[in-house]
Amino acid sequence: MKKALAALFLTPKRRVLTATISLLTIAVFSWLTVYYLDELCDHPSLALLTVVCWLALIIACWWLALMAMSPKLTVPSFLQEWMEDALIEHSVFRANSDQSRAEELTDLGFKLEALDPMDPRQFQVNAESRFRFYFFSGILACLLLTHFTQDAFLTRFQKVGLTLTYLRSNESLTRLKGLNLLIDLGRHRLVSQNQFGEESVAKSLERALLALLDDPHEGVRARSAFVCGNLHLKTAVPKLVQMVREDEVLREVALLALGAMPVTPITPHPAHLALKELAKNNALVHEQALAFAIATGRQRVNVGQQLQALYQAHSLPNKVHEKASTKIREAIIWAFGELRNSDYLEILSQALKDPELSVRCLAALSFEKLVLFESSPILREAFENSKKDEQCLQVIAPTQEGVKALVLMDKKSYQLALMRALATTDDPKLLQWMVDHQEGIDPMANRLMYKYYKALEKKEKSGLLDALKRKNQN
């Protein structure tokens, strides 16, 4: 080993060749390491072993390159002293004890450029300290160069490097474990933003998730669809649409994943356009009414006609008390609120008379989001027909295990929900109406009624309600 090392540093040409080959080895092996970890490695232990070997190779090759370049970077005597002390005194080369070590190196063919006597390095350079500085700085530079040229490799490996090995495993349970690990990490750790606010995930992770959408295991496909929706992967939209159309079992999961994509009001998101196209399939809409309502509501897809037809179908006497139909009506009325479109005032007023209190509560919430003056008489009538002890329970959308649920409606008093909606109308008639109906109502609703009365009274005195008064007269 020592003889081989000595041979690498004997002549200037060999030293240049040694440095060149060492640096190329670092570059090539770094690229191979990143490629293997991003695309091929399927076991965490192999991933860790690969990283350790990569670091060891960087250290060894950079040491060789630095030693070969030391006559230029430090002083020529540094390499000669190392050759003499480390490779001659205790090596097989020391055959003639009468010769000096310098002479023995010369006999071996060691050639070193002479340093000019006036070169300031002779007096100013501490060769050992400079070598250590170059050694550690070079290793750090190799790591950072790999990091910045390979899509933030070090950061990616810390976040999802080991998780990716789970996703590529041959065992379906291991792949599921990897998907669960991604969910536990949270999208805030997996998604990065550029200077323009555009979100993206690591390309290696994106490719792995897209591959899992075609996984033979049903549970893996379902979990990967959810993760794709959670991470807002635009590239996953075509496969999710295909899953909706072709996979009857996972149709609901795929619809909910499309609904989880972000809403982009200026430029329509691919998921928004996909849901708009899927809404044309009436059989699909009626089969997956719950998922369709939630997905279109989250994406604010204007498919009010389809939602109205769904609500009417699930409001029939034979379905009105079915639990599944109730959940569907809840989701539909919530979706109307997300649309914030006054064209659907009639269906929302109908929902305020629904037999199920939860549907009426969500209708009140939708009216609150609507912020419409014309909704005042409808809400006043509903409040007059309400009861003090009616309480809206929390309503949540279906979701997969282990993740935060989408809350459609928080727990609150029904009368409070109606009063919150009335507070968005600014109807001048409410000044007298609130005085007439302040007794015997829910305490929280009564408190909000008082605050709103004062605010409305102030607006009335300042003349802000004059236009609405004339509207009432007409």
pLDDT band at 238 (very low <50, low <70, confident <90, very high): very high
How many Å apart are CA 286 and CA 313, to the nearest integer? 9
The encoded tokens of residue 447 equal 């408190």
Res 120 pLDDT > 70: no
Name residues whose C-beta falls within 8 Å of residue 132's C-beta, 6 or more positions apart in sequence: none
Res 86 pLDDT > 70: no
pLDDT band at 472 (very low <50, low <70, confident <90, very high): confident
**Residue 380 placed within a domain:** yes
Q: What is the mean pLDDT of residues 192-218?
A: 84
**Residue 434 placed within a domain:** no
- pLDDT per position as a tens digit, 58-85: 999 998 898 888 777 776 767 666 676 6
Residue 245 sits in the same domain as residue 225: yes
pLDDT band at 467 (very low <50, low <70, confident <90, very high): confident
Residue 311 sits in the same domain as residue 386: yes
How many Å apart are CA 367 and CA 379, to the nearest integer? 8
Which residue type occupies 19? A
- pLDDT per position as a tens digit, 420-450: 999 999 888 898 999 999 999 999 999 999 9
In terms of pLDDT, which residue wins out, 120 or 307? Answer: 307
Residue 249 sits in the same domain as residue 166: yes
Residue 351 sits in the same domain as residue 320: yes
**Residue 467 placed within a domain:** no
The encoded tokens of residue 400 equal 């997969």
Residue 87 sits in the same domain as residue 170: no
- Name which of 165, 110, 148, 146 is nearest 27 in CA terms: 146
Hey, which of 14-18, 165-169, 255-259, 318-322 has the most confident mean pLDDT? 255-259
The encoded tokens of residue 454 equal 């004062």
Please say whether the beta carbons of 201 and 191 come within 8 A.
yes
Which residue, of 99, 121, 150, is where some domain finishes?
Answer: 150
Residue 287 sits in the same domain as residue 405: yes
How many Å apart are CA 140 and CA 252, to the nearest integer? 49
Mean pLDDT taken over the chain: 85
Q: For the chain, give the percent of residues with pLDDT over 90.
A: 46
**pLDDT at res. 156:** 81
The encoded tokens of residue 6 equal 């000595």
**Residue 471 placed within a domain:** no
Residue 323 sits in the same domain as residue 403: yes
Three-class DSSP labels, 237-293? HHHHHHHHHHCCCCHHHHHHHHHCCCCCCCCCCHHHHHHHHHCCCHHHHHHCHHHHH
**pLDDT at res. 451:** 93
Res 98 pLDDT > 60: no
Which residue type occupies 466? D
Which residue, of 240, 267, 294, is where some domain finishes?
Answer: 267
Residue 170 sits in the same domain as residue 140: no
Checking DSSP bridges between strand 407-409 and strand 192-193, what pairing results, if any? unpaired
Three-class DSSP labels, 41-92? CCCHHHHHHHHHHHHHHHHHHHHHHHHHHHHHHCCHHHHHHHHHHHHHCCCC
- Name which of 298, 284, 166 is nearest 230 in CA terms: 298
How many Å apart are CA 191 and CA 205, to the nearest integer? 11
Please state the domain count of the chain.
3
Which residue range forms the structural domain that includes residue 369?
A: 279-424
Hey, which of 35-44, 90-99, 299-308 has the most confident mean pLDDT? 299-308
**pLDDT at res. 3:** 66
Please say whether the beta carbons of 10 and 88 come within 8 A.
no
Res 109 pLDDT > 70: no
In terms of pLDDT, which residue wins out, 38 or 349? Answer: 349
pLDDT band at 141 (very low <50, low <70, confident <90, very high): very high
Instruction: Identify the DSSP state of 408.
Output: E
Res 245 pLDDT > 90: yes
**Residue 262 placed within a domain:** yes
Residue 230 maps to which CATH number? 1.25.10.10
Torsion angles phi and psi, residue 393, rounded to 5:
-85, 160
Q: Is 109 helix (H, G, I), strand (E, B) or coil?
A: coil
Res 132 pLDDT > 90: no
**Residue 325 placed within a domain:** yes
Residue 27 sits in the same domain as residue 139: yes
Please say whether the beta carbons of 201 and 182 come within 8 A.
no
**Residue 436 placed within a domain:** no
Residue 309 sits in the same domain as residue 198: no
Which residue, of 406, 424, 442, is where some domain finishes?
Answer: 424
pLDDT band at 134 (very low <50, low <70, confident <90, very high): confident
- Name which of 292, 271, 194, 171 is nearest 228 in CA terms: 271
**Residue 452 placed within a domain:** no
Could you give the angle at the alpha carbon of 171 between the alpha carbons of 169 and 175, nearest 5°? 60
- pLDDT per position as a tens digit, 390-416: 999 999 888 776 677 889 999 999 999
Residue 12 sits in the same domain as residue 136: yes
Q: For the chain, give the percent of residues with pLDDT over 70.
A: 85
Residue 115 sits in the same domain as residue 185: no
46-55, 177-186, 325-334, range with the lowest pLDDT: 177-186
